[in-house]
Structure 1
Amino acid sequence: MSQKQSSFYPSILQGWGIVGIFLIVSIFVSIVTSGFEGVLDKGLILFITYLFAMGIPLGIIYSVRKKKTGITSFNFKLDYLVIVPVLFFVTLGLQLGLIGPITDLIPMPEEFVTFFKELMGDKDIYNFLTVVIAAPILEELIFRGLILDGFLKRYSPTKAILFSSMFFGIIHFNPWQFVAAMILGCFIGWVYLKTKSVSYGIIIHMINNGCAFAIMMFISEDQMNLTGPELYGGSTNYVIIIIGSLLVTGVGLYYLSKYFKETVPPITWKEDAIDDFDSEIGNTTTVE
């Protein structure tokens, strides 16, 4: 590995250290905020818990990157607003045509059903702020603005996007959100690769979470337990929705690919890529 590349942060091995930070901080913050149950509104506790559980790792990762690379800012430019409607339809298509059907195949224990009901079922302002506002901003700053940005300067685009999406899924600490985060993360990662702007990822993330939140606003708790075919009125309807959603997604991705190729200037992330882990061993492998 060249000295120039080794200065970019993080590496994939350091990414595992970041996952450890998320786990430790999440446990600690949850223990502290649980002491406010019965004193504060449940939605407010969730909002505060989330802000600290994500905000502390964001601060740590940002500080380490600043120390190692001298980079102090994020790119929030929105130079290609024309693609936003397309991002909406592709995101919705991925949710209905791919993410939903896959997660539907994974059995969910009752305790997780209860957790998601509490997370999405309380229709108050704090849950909206947590799910639709805070989560997209904080998670995109971390996983695209910091982690993917660093990976793209060290690895091939495919490797960088896949591993950053994997870490994005892992920190949700359950298989259902892992699937959603992995798939959505790959899409957001590709858009970040082409635009180098974290704002498009925030928009996609807000669309995804906002649609999920809106759906939960209009269905009962009993309907949350239904499978896709049950929710959409039968297997035939469900298959039609899946196929239609995948077609919309395909058309949208084709348009975006064509638009990026013809309109967006190519971005050079690095001179050469590292395609194996061996060269990383012996270098810094933890967050310091």
Structure 2
Amino acid sequence: MSEITNIELNAEEPENIALAPQTAYPNVTSVVKLFFVYLVFLIIIAIIAAIIFMNTPQEFPAVKSIFKVLMNAAPILMAIQYTLKRSEKQQGYPSTINYNKIKGWLIPVLIIAAAAFSIVLERISVLLPMPLKIREIFERMFTRDIFSFMSVVIIAPIIEEILCRGIILKGLLKNYSPNKAIFISAILFSALHLNPWQAIPAFFGGLFLGWIYNKTQSVIPGMIFHAAINTTGFAFLFLGNSKQDLPDIFGKMYYPVLLMSALVFTVSCIFINKKVKVAVTNQSLITNLQSLI
């Protein structure tokens, strides 16, 4: 088959059209509220982390690293739990996460697209250069060990995609047009990074992640792409100080590499758009039936 078409009938969502909610969770107001709730969760976790780190002996660095991974994930996990409870209260049933299977060919295409997009994003990020002091803070936060790698490359892509695409975007797509829903979810994804140096690239990354979710109705492609992006960023972060920027790495070949990366990413998007048709979900079926009544 040259295309992917998923028809999902989720047993956890209402089968009776009459019981379907008029407004799915979330809307724009709910997204704004979620951001501030996330800030509260972040402050609570920061206080707990400070207490734990102050009372952990220096001779147990692995213990601190494990706690750091847990603390980094905790605010997002708390936000996921919050959104599930809010969706259940508003809809009468909690939001469910779509893990629809994807074709095998999509995995290498997403990884290649992510590698190319990382180079483009690096060029976008230099529009607002990160001060050396801020860079040093990031390097201290993410030490060169397996725990930081797991946090950045495995855990963060999974839980962030579940929240931002699996719950938030899925609900937004029921309330707004795809373009508007993807834009709103990208704004939230950007804002959750809480600093402009990550927020700007995250916004553009969020647009693609929202687009690929809408195409496949699955969080799996986003997790793959997100993990590949973070892997590249993790590698860039820990290059030597003299080679922190891509122009220093590629030298005179930087702009040809940049143009080639933009071309590869564009071709990847065109290829995905041609081969993957927008999945049909239970909510889509409900909407179409309602329009006939």
* TM-score normalised according to structure 1 size: 0.83
Check 1:6–1:265 CA distance in 2 against 1; reply closer, same or farther (3 A cut). Answer: closer
Which residue of the partner structure matches residue 154 of structure 1? 175
Return the alpha-carbon distance in structure 1 between the equivalents of residues 152 and 276 of structure 2. Answer: 30
Q: Which amino acid aligns with 1:229?
A: P
Q: Mapping of 1:63-212 within 5 angstroms? A: 63-69=85-91, 70-97=93-120, 99-120=121-142, 122-212=143-233
Check 1:140–1:119 CA distance in 2 against 1; reply closer, same or farther (3 A cut). Answer: same
Deviations along 1:223-245, one digit per CA (max 9) or x if unpaired, are: 33xx4322322xx3211111010
Contact 2:66–2:147, Cα closer than 8 Å, also in 1: yes
* Structure 2 unpaired stretches of 5+: 1-18, 289-293
Q: Mapping of 1:241-280 within 5 angstroms? A: 241-261=257-277, 266=280, 269=284, 271=287
Contact 1:117–1:221, Cα closer than 8 Å, also in 2: no
Contact 1:140–1:198, Cα closer than 8 Å, also in 2: yes
Check 1:5–1:177 CA distance in 2 against 1; reply closer, same or farther (3 A cut). Answer: farther
Check 1:266–1:4 CA distance in 2 against 1; reply closer, same or farther (3 A cut). Answer: closer
Return the alpha-carbon distance in structure 2 between the equivalents of residues 7 and 160 of structure 1. Answer: 14
Return the alpha-carbon distance in structure 1 between the equivalents of residues 112 and 157 of structure 2. Answer: 18
Which residue of 223, 226, 240 corresponds with 1:220?
240
Which residue of the partner structure matches residue 8 of structure 2? none
Deviations along 1:42-83, one digit per CA (max 9) or x if unpaired, are: 432321211212111111111211332214531112232221
1:4: Cα distance to partner? 5.5
Check 1:223–1:34 CA distance in 2 against 1; reply closer, same or farther (3 A cut). Answer: farther
Return the alpha-carbon distance in structure 1 between the equivalents of residues 107 and 141 of structure 2. Answer: 27
Deviations along 1:179-210, one digit per CA (max 9) or x if unpaired, are: 22111111111111011111111111111112
3-state SS, counterpart of residue 276 of structure 2: helix
Check 1:62–1:111 CA distance in 2 against 1; reply closer, same or farther (3 A cut). Answer: farther
Q: Which amino acid aligns with 2:243?
A: Q
Deviations along 1:15-41, one digit per CA (max 9) or x if unpaired, are: 000000111111111111012225153
Structure 1 residue 240 corresponds to structure 2 residue 256: yes
Return the alpha-carbon distance in structure 1 between the equivalents of residues 83 and 105 of structure 2. Answer: 32
Structure 1 residue 231 corresponds to structure 2 residue 253: no
The percentage of counterpart residues that share the same residue type is 28
Contact 1:8–1:150, Cα closer than 8 Å, also in 2: yes
Contact 1:194–1:266, Cα closer than 8 Å, also in 2: no
Q: Which amino acid aligns with 2:160?
A: E
Contact 1:144–1:189, Cα closer than 8 Å, also in 2: yes
Structure 1 residue 61 corresponds to structure 2 residue 61: no
Contact 2:153–2:230, Cα closer than 8 Å, also in 1: yes
1:266: Cα distance to partner? 4.9
Which residue of the partner structure matches residue 45 of structure 2? 29
3-state SS, counterpart of residue 26 of structure 2: coil
1:212: Cα distance to partner? 2.1
Check 1:109–1:215 CA distance in 2 against 1; reply closer, same or farther (3 A cut). Answer: closer
Q: Which amino acid aligns with 1:195?
A: T
Check 1:151–1:72 CA distance in 2 against 1; reply closer, same or farther (3 A cut). Answer: closer
Which residue of the partner structure matches residue 275 of structure 1? none
* Structure 1 unpaired stretches of 5+: 273-288
| Number of residue-to-residue matches in the alignment | 261
3-state SS, counterpart of residue 210 of structure 2: helix
Contact 2:95–2:167, Cα closer than 8 Å, also in 1: no
Check 1:113–1:214 CA distance in 2 against 1; reply closer, same or farther (3 A cut). Answer: closer
